[in-house]
Structure 1
Amino acid sequence: MSRPFPPPAFKIGDLVVDPPVLQAPMAGFTNAAFRQMVREYGGAGLIATEMVNARGFQWMDEHTTEHPDRLWGVAEEARPLAVQIWDNDPETMAKVGRRLVEEYQVSVVDINFGCPVRQVTEKAHSGSYLLRTPERMFQIISKLVKACAPTPVTAKIRLGCSPESINCNDIAQVVEEAGAAALTVHGRTAKDMFRGHADWDRISEIKSHLKNIPLIGNGDLDSAEKVVHAFKTYDVDGVMIARACLGRPWLFAQAAAALQGQPVPPDPSLAEQRDCMLHHYTLVKDRFGEEKGTVLMRKFACCYAQGKYGARMFRTHVAKVSTAEEFYHVVDEYFPLTVKEKPVSAQ
């Protein structure tokens, strides 16, 4: 299938998403520091927070404790900004959605119906677990839409709970009928977790089951070339980049350039990538303090090193740091500054 190219901007409610490339909400990663890194490089049409537990947020609010760290920076940072929430109770979701609109003035409230993690699914009967109960999804979405109006509400789903129970086409219709302003689909089932490959043909098929709302595809987009291919090949209005951007916040700018037929900016040099990581560390440390910030930065540092020669040695050492002095020492000694090389065959 040949699609219009370059792809036009699209709208979520009254919000124009331009370029039509979104940053995925990712638990434990897309905090305010990471979002600032993405903004500094540019190229993302819509940025999202980590997913927020609606019930936990409500409890904190009722007990006048500090709001969740996952809402760090939301009130002050630039717009547009989407906040993703999860739970299985329509009333709780509606209350929290309204607070996000009134107090935080967010651009979009997104509902997580896609998380496959057992703590969210089997223990809390939320996330992708709800794909087996479309009627509950309808109740959650419709109540949230009413509570958040005129701020748009969106939903993120997977293809189904398992390869044997793919129901994304039916779920898409439920999402639209309940009043959601856009649908994002990750091209795997919950049972797949992140194994195998995202099924973009399945994602594309969903478009014919929607009447008016935009469809956003998600899964395996790790280069500007793959973003271009997705728009040229599949029937989607937007794409969402997830894990591939964690150590590469410049990926959105590369994708945006490619979509406009412009030269794709090269990756920063390895020294520049190291400096980017150190800037990221400063943002995290300033918010959480040296000890907590350093521990939190371990996983981000591993993302920046991924795919580089010497990454394993760096990961081994950075996983143990707990002070700024230790972090800077490990970076100076072990952060990879050469590209990953293929092993030379024995003569």
Structure 2
Amino acid sequence: MISPLKIGDLVIDPPILQAPMAGFTNAAFRQIVRDFGGAGLLATEMVNARGFVWMDENEAEHPDRLWGVAEEPRPLAVQIWDNDPATMAKVGKRLVEEYQVSIVDINFGCPVRQVTQKAHSGSYLLRDPRRMFDIISQLVEACSPTPVTAKIRLGCTRDNVNCNEVAKVVEEAGAAALTVHGRTAQDMFRGNADWETISEIKSRLKSIPLIGNGDLDSAEKVVAAFEKYNVDGVMIARACLGRPWLFAQAAAALRGEPIPAEPTMSEQREVMLKHYRLVVSRFGEEKGTVLMRKYACCYAQGKPGARHFRSGVARVATTEEFYQIVDEHFPIEAATN
């Protein structure tokens, strides 16, 4: 049996976290995950702190990435990014006071060029631990008593793996937990996550929990992560996008219970259609259908006829077209396999 994860005064049980993923982990996706259960902590997409401030100052609607945050069940984390400590602190304070979020998480791990090279944020900041300290410490002060956490990678490049140094800075700055993705920014998502290096970080931390992330695509791998490596929690990312029931499977495995079977193709189809309806209810038919294309491709991944389905769904623009492609190409006929 695996103990619950404690982040500040917040108890995460089971200690399985859903990763913040830009463009994917919006309120509709979180609702689908919540329907299946098994995720101890859900998270939003990452929010651009500077963009949030601009919208606020210009009396514009707050970012779509905060859709649902005010109303949905807790615990819930909101991840933010920028390189300016004062801006980050201002946004963190608003998230705590106005949205009553459970955790404010800082993105120090995004390797995407738009965030790193253009905005000097995300994993770019791993080369500047002093700036990281300032961002974290100011956020901690602004958000207190709500816990502030940080997510990092092993380093910027394979020649500059500095996660041990950064981990100490994160804790000294007052963060309540550290999540580590087992690749460098240079790696993007290539190769395998280095869980050995993640595990070594634990000895550098005095009291805050360590959460491991990378390549967890089965309940068995989640169990193995706890058994083999020195982590207090795990975070599931890309593997859950087409399999939101993965959290429930992993949670059952951690309890020593039989792992629930994969839903049938017919059941998976209904999950996808519910997801579609949730997205359309928020964004309308035109925008919602376009946004759903990428989600639908995730649901089809690895299934019979996935290529034909992806090709068709990539062009849909209306509800009628979406349902037609689903009826014609989503592999419901494989339900009894």
The interval holding the TM-score normalised by the smaller chain is over 0.9
Query: Given residue 37 of structure 2, which amino acid in structure 1 is its aligned partner?
Result: G
RMSD of aligned Cα (Å): 0.8
Q: Residues of 2 paired with 1:86 and 1:63: CA distance?
A: 20
Q: Residues of 2 paired with 1:269 and 1:329: CA distance?
A: 20
Aligned counterparts, 1:103-114, within 5 A: 103-114=98-109
Partner of 1:11: 6
Q: Residues of 2 paired with 1:210 and 1:336: CA distance?
A: 48
Structure 1 gap ranges (5+): 1-5, 341-347
Partner of 2:113: 118
The 3-state SS of whatever aligns with 1:280 is helix
The 3-state SS of whatever aligns with 1:289 is helix
Q: Residues of 2 paired with 1:30 and 1:242: CA distance?
A: 10
Identity %, equivalent residues: 78
Deviation for aligned residue 1:139:
0.1
Q: Residues of 1 paired with 2:67 and 2:15: CA distance?
A: 25
Deviation for aligned residue 1:338:
5.2
Q: Residues of 1 paired with 2:13 and 2:206: CA distance?
A: 22
Partner of 1:326: 321
Q: Residues of 2 paired with 1:73 and 1:10: CA distance?
A: 25
Query: Given residue 288 of structure 2, which amino acid in structure 1 is its aligned partner?
Result: G
- Across the two proteins, how many residue pairs are aligned to each other? 335
The 3-state SS of whatever aligns with 2:107 is strand
Q: Residues of 2 paired with 1:338 and 1:294: CA distance?
A: 24
Aligned to 2:88, which of 88, 93, 101? 93
Q: Residues of 1 paired with 2:40 and 2:320: CA distance?
A: 37
Aligned to 2:283, which of 284, 288, 307? 288
Q: Residues of 2 paired with 1:337 and 1:32: CA distance?
A: 26
Q: Residues of 2 paired with 1:264 and 1:335: CA distance?
A: 25
Partner of 1:235: 230
Do the aligned residues in 2 keep the contact of 1:309 with 1:338 (CA within 8 Å)?
A: no
Deviation for aligned residue 1:41:
0.3
Partner of 2:140: 145
Q: Residues of 2 paired with 1:238 and 1:225: CA distance?
A: 15
The 3-state SS of whatever aligns with 1:112 is strand
Deviation for aligned residue 1:336:
1.9
Do the aligned residues in 2 keep the contact of 1:26 with 1:50 (CA within 8 Å)?
A: yes
Do the aligned residues in 2 keep the contact of 1:308 with 1:338 (CA within 8 Å)?
A: no
Do the aligned residues in 2 keep the contact of 1:21 with 1:240 (CA within 8 Å)?
A: yes
Do the aligned residues in 2 keep the contact of 1:294 with 1:324 (CA within 8 Å)?
A: yes
Partner of 2:172: 177
Aligned to 2:127, which of 114, 125, 132? 132
Cα-to-partner distance string for 1:78-133 (whole Å, 9 max, x where unaligned): 00000000000000000000000000000000000000000000000000000000
Q: Residues of 2 paired with 1:215 and 1:336: CA distance?
A: 40
Q: Residues of 2 paired with 1:302 and 1:336: CA distance?
A: 13
Cα-to-partner distance string for 1:135-165 (whole Å, 9 max, x where unaligned): 0000000000000000000000000001000
Partner of 2:245: 250
Q: Residues of 2 paired with 1:319 and 1:107: CA distance?
A: 36
Query: Given residue 219 of structure 1, which amino acid in structure 2 is its aligned partner?
Result: G
Q: Residues of 1 paired with 2:6 and 2:250: CA distance?
A: 19
The 3-state SS of whatever aligns with 1:290 is helix
Partner of 1:167: 162
Query: Given residue 108 of structure 1, which amino acid in structure 2 is its aligned partner?
Result: I
Q: Residues of 2 paired with 1:335 and 1:29: CA distance?
A: 21
Query: Given residue 166 of structure 1, which amino acid in structure 2 is its aligned partner?
Result: V
Q: Quickly say closer, same or farther: Cα 1:223–1:119, change in 2 above 3 A.
A: same
Structure 2 gap ranges (5+): none
Partner of 1:205: 200
- Structure 2 residue 6 is the aligned partner of structure 1 residue 35: no
- Structure 2 residue 51 is the aligned partner of structure 1 residue 56: yes
Deviation for aligned residue 1:339:
5.4
Deviation for aligned residue 1:271:
0.4
Deviation for aligned residue 1:337:
2.8
Query: Given residue 87 of structure 1, which amino acid in structure 2 is its aligned partner?
Result: D
Query: Given residue 138 of structure 1, which amino acid in structure 2 is its aligned partner?
Result: F
Q: Quickly say closer, same or farther: Cα 1:225–1:338, change in 2 above 3 A.
A: farther
- Structure 2 residue 306 is the aligned partner of structure 1 residue 301: no
Deviation for aligned residue 1:7:
1.4
